[in-house]
């Protein structure tokens, strides 16, 4: 092995969001991951709800707003029809 041309091959830790820590070796001393074999539904066989950014929440808020607006529009339209 030629000197001073290779990256350092360190003891490395892979830390998952679920708390699982995997010890391995890498040129990086540590890595943070969002999902691993201990918590991925494919390996656990259980459905897991992953909503880190609150996207489902945001969607449901938007849906409620839209439905309210549509209901208001429909009500306004039915009132107009009654007047005419």
Interface residues with Zn ion (CB under 5 A) are 16, 18, 20, 36, 38-39
CB of 31 to Zn ion, least distance (A): 12
CB of 20 to Zn ion, least distance (A): 4
State the Cα–Cα distance between residues 20 and 53, nearest whole angstrom.
Answer: 21
Closest CA to 31 of 8, 54, 10: 10
Nearer to Zn ion, 18 or 26 (CB): 18
Nearer to Zn ion, 10 or 38 (CB): 38
State the Cα–Cα distance between residues 79 and 25, nearest whole angstrom.
Answer: 71
């Amino acid at each position: 092995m030629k000197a001073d041309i290779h990256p350092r091959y360190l003891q490395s830790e892979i830390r998952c969001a679920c708390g699982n820590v995997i010890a391995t070796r890498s040129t990086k001393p540590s890595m943070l991951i969002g999902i691993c074999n201990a918590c991925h539904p494919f390996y656990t066989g259980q459905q897991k709800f992953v909503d880190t950014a609150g996207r489902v929440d945001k969607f449901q808020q938007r849906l409620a707003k839209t439905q309210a607006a549509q209901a208001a529009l429909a009500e306004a339209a039915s009132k107009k029809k009654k007047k005419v």
